[in-house]
Amino acid sequence: MYILATALQDTIWLVLLIVFGFSIYAWSKGNIANKTVAVLITLILVYLIFIRFTELVWIVAIVVVAWWIWSSDIKKWIKDNVKV
C-alpha cells in the first residue's frame, strides 16, 4: 500500500511541476519579450519552488486554485476596499 501512495504522490508532484512550469513560462513570456529570459526565469522559479522550498508547492497550489475559483470576487473586493 505504501508503494501505491508513493507512486500517487510522485504522479501528483510531476503534474504540479508541469502545470507550474507552463504557467510560470506563460506568465514570464507575456511580461518579457525575450523567450530565453522567460525560460531562465521559469527554470529558476521552478527550481526554487520544487527543490529548495518544497513546502511552497502546496501553498502555491492552494493559492492558484483559490485564485482560479474566486478571482473575480477577489479583484472586486480589492477594487472596493483598497485605496491607492
pLDDT given for residue 5 in this prediction: 64
Q: How far apart are CA 43 and CA 20, in angstroms?
A: 11
Burial 13-35 (b: 16+ CB within 10 A, else e): eeebeeebbeebbeebbeeeeee
Could you count the other beta carbons within 10 Å of the beta carbon of residue 73?
A: 9
How far does Cα 43 stand from its chain's mean position?
Answer: 13
pLDDT given for residue 27 in this prediction: 87
Cα atoms in the 13 Å half-sphere on the side-chain side of 46 = 21
DSSP letter assigned to residue 54: T
- Render each residue's pLDDT in the chain as its tens digit; 84 residues: 456 567 777 888 888 889 888 988 988 888 888 899 999 999 998 888 888 888 888 887 888 788 788 888 878 888 888 876
